Structure 1
Amino acid sequence: YHRSMGGVGVHDQLRMRYSVQLAYKTRKYYKTLFLGLFDMALVNAFNIYRFFRK
C-alpha cells in the first residue's frame, strides 16, 4: 500500500503540467471528455516508457 500510495498524485501532477485539455477550451462535453481521456493516455504512456527505460 505505502509503496504505490503517491501514484494518483503524480499522475495528476503530470496531467496538469502537460495537459492538452487545458490548452483547448471548449464548451462541448464530448470534446472535453475526449481531451481528458487523451491526457490520461499520454501520461500513462509516459509512465510506461519511464518504467521500461530503467
Structure 2
Amino acid sequence: MISHVTPENVRKANILLMPVHTPRHWSLLICDMKCRKWDFYDSMPCSVHQASLTTLV
C-alpha cells in the first residue's frame, strides 16, 4: 500500500502525473494543480485515446 499518497498530500502538490496504460499503449496526463489545467501527452495521438480523457479526469 502507498501510505504517503493521501488526499491532503494530493491537495498540496503542484503537479500530478498520471500515467495511463491501455492495452498496447501508454500516455500521460499531467495536472497543474495551481492552474487546474490538464495536459495530455500521447505518442500515438488518435480520437480513441482522447475520448477516454473525460472519464479519467
| Structure 2 length-normalised TM | 0.26
Q: Which has the larger share of helix?
A: 1
Specify which structure has the bigger relative contact order, considering alpha-carbon pairs within 8 angstroms and separated by 6 or more residues. Answer: 1
Higher strand residue share: 2
